[in-house]
Amino acid sequence: MLDYRVRNLSVFFAADPFCRRAISESLETLTEVAPREISRWSDLNGLLDEKSVCLAVFALSDEGQRCIRSSSEEFNKFIEFLPRLRNHHPFCQVILIPAYNLPIQHSCEAVVQGVTAIVDPRQDNFNDNLREHFHEAYRHFQELQERKTENERLPRFVQNGLVGRSKALMEVVKLAQRAAKISDASVIIYGESGTGKQRLAEIIHELDEKRRSRPFICVNCAAITGTLAESELFGHKKGAFTGATEDRLGYFRAANGGTILLDEIGELDLALQPKILRVSQEGMVLPVGSDREYRVDVRLIAATHRNLRKMILNGKFRLDLYQRLNVIQLNMPSLRERTEDIPALFESFLDKYAHYSRCRIESVDPKIYEILAWTVGAGNVRELENIVRQILIFKENGQRIEITDLPREIIHKKMREAVGQAVVNIPKEMIDAVAYGPKKLADVVDEYEKYMLSRLIDRGITHTTLADNLGITRRTLYNKLQKYDLH
């Protein structure tokens, strides 16, 4: 529930008298500003001059929608107007009420283009559903406004590729700044792949007054497994093994006086872990083939996406090494935990790769940031960077980035979500029957198939059209109708 009546403008376009009355009554109970009804498509242009529009409701007429395959003229007008509405009011929530059966491709297109919800006016509890969607839309608008205000108040942090102003990022940066003042303390940075753990380690090194003028060396522990791993880390003497044609310092001696980052330390071979422990405790390294130890002064930072405590219990990581490293622990947030940083990151990558692609972008559709917040997964910031690079490959100088410029897999992922949100309306009792028993999944699948077919038949769709749109033969459809006694 909202903690106050909405003070921003809400508008609605409704051709159907029933929908018009339901929309108006619901909006009047929630808003202090009287909702504005728009009766003609040409009048919608006036919305673009308004200071703030928080909710726009479109109830389309049923003309041209009675055939699943038809493309409604009103729907096309609606889709054409959406980008302009988003450009002027990026936080505006849009609710669509189709008067008749909305084709799946139209539902997908509507949600991808920025529709918050699609409400079926033929549901028995239409008024309650409508009011619930209005509540949710106003709540989301309120959250976006508050987040925008908070982000504008916070300073934008930009250093070593870390970009953003979210609370989650700023908290870990503050801890890193404190860690930099304790020059000899080891650090473990936890975080998913692609979140920027190396960037955080570089910041610690550059803020460390004692070490910042000395080397920073990053070692990928997953890439140094095998017989030569010890030589990579600690060096070797000439002739120590076949192919050792000259002395090698190794990473630890090369980083002397500075910082060494052991990235993905959870992948480090168990046989090497005691040697890392000795460097951490005694500051001594023994090159392969040498009888002399060398003293090194390095700050040790480890990074991992694994649960080291669980690895210790499974015998895959040494407890003593973990205790030695875990003096300061930092947790790098995933991009899902700092989605408000996506616009700043996106723009920083545009600037970064504009030089290489020789392409300066005029503007970016703000809906892109919302779609990316929903779809960017385990790849985190690294995945977002790759998306920007892919987009720039096919853009010309001075162009605008539109939703259709996003990589195909991002659009498909969003469209799958759109189908789930807007088309597949599985009754709650069917889900509960599987979740809490006693029914099996196969039984509920049959029930839902019967439920869906009965609703489609009630809408007067011919068997030929229905079979065609379901992607099955008329014989298969006939057998299903017989199975569920739907003749």
The letter for the amino acid at 101 is: N
* pLDDT of res. 426: 47
Nearest to 123 by CA among 430, 460, 446, 427: 427
* pLDDT of res. 101: 62
- Taking the model in full, what pTM does it have? 0.65
Task: Judge: domain 167-331, CATH 3.40.50.1820.
Answer: no
Let me know how long the chain is. Answer: 487
Is 176 exposed, middle or buried (CB count within 10 Å of its CB: 0-12, 13-18, 19+)? buried
Low-confidence ranges of the chain (pLDDT < 70): 1-7, 15-16, 61-72, 99-105, 108, 112, 147-148, 150-160, 377-378, 411-445, 448, 459-460, 487
Helix intervals (H) in 89-227: 104-112, 126-153, 167-181, 197-207
Q: What is the DSSP letter of 288?
A: B
Which residues in 311-432 belong to E strands, given as ranges? 328-331, 363-364, 400-401
Instruction: Judge whether 9-153 and 335-422 match in fold.
Output: no
* pLDDT of res. 462: 76
Q: What is the CA radius of gyration of the chain?
A: 30
* Domain segments of the chain as ranges: 9-153, 167-331, 335-422, 428-483
Nearest to 57 by CA among 28, 49, 72, 70: 28
Q: What are the strands of the beta sheet with 328-331, ordered from one edge? A: 216-220, 259-263, 299-304, 187-190, 328-331
- What digits encode the pLDDT tens for the residues 344-382? 899 889 888 877 777 788 888 877 887 888 777 667 899
* pLDDT of res. 69: 36
* pLDDT of res. 64: 40
* pLDDT of res. 277: 95
Under CATH, what is the fold of the domain 335-422? Helicase, Ruva Protein; domain 3 (1.10.8)
Which top CATH class is 9-153? alpha beta
Measured CA to CA, the distance from residue 15 to residue 40 in angstroms comes to 9
* pLDDT of res. 454: 79
